[in-house]
Amino acid sequence: MEKYHYEYIFKNSKNSDELFDTFDKAVKEGVDNFEIYKILFWNPALSKNEVCMFVKKLASSFPKISYDVYMWGAKVIELSYENDDNLETVITFYKKAAESNNKLTEPYIRALDCYNSDLKIPQPNTLVNFVKRGVNKVNDPSILYYKLSELYGKMGNIELKNHYVAQGEKSIKRRIKI
């Protein structure tokens, strides 16, 4: 099937069965152009569970694009399905993206940005533990230290806010060898 045919169906079909069949055919044919699947994920006919199923299947079928798949899937769910229960799925996808490419800071930053200080969700400890594990893996840990500082500031913990600012500054100094 031609690329434009997949794009047309993914964009215009309102039938979940047709979307699933077309997706399945694309995967079996080895279509690993992620731009085509982005269209599918935004299709309003899909439920959150269907989007999740497509994300997981696509990421496992084409590991070389799994980072992009998980990042995009998290974004779609976060923006399209406004419900606090969806934050767990979003955070899980950010974690999977980080596993796919642990040198990049974006999944950690996006996960921290999910924190709602008014509702105190998702659980800060979950986010902090995830980001702390990433600090030793990413190319520039100072970014994560500053984001942790920001999180603790939102939570009103000035001591830890200041601690992570200091960690960020130390990280920068180590990186530029001052």
What pLDDT, in 10s, does the model give residues 8-22? 999 999 999 999 999
Q: 110-113 contacts: CB < 8 A, separation 24 or more?
A: 110/71, 110/74, 110/75, 112/147, 112/148, 112/150, 112/151
- Over residues 27-48, the mean pLDDT reads 95
Are 111 and 92 in contact by the 8 Å Cβ rule? The answer is no
What pLDDT, in 10s, does the model give residues 135-145? 999 999 999 99
Give pTM, 2 decimals.
0.92
Instruction: Give the domains, in start order, of the chain with CATH numbers.
Output: 1-101 (1.25.40), 102-178 (no CATH)
More confident of the two residues 60 and 120: 60
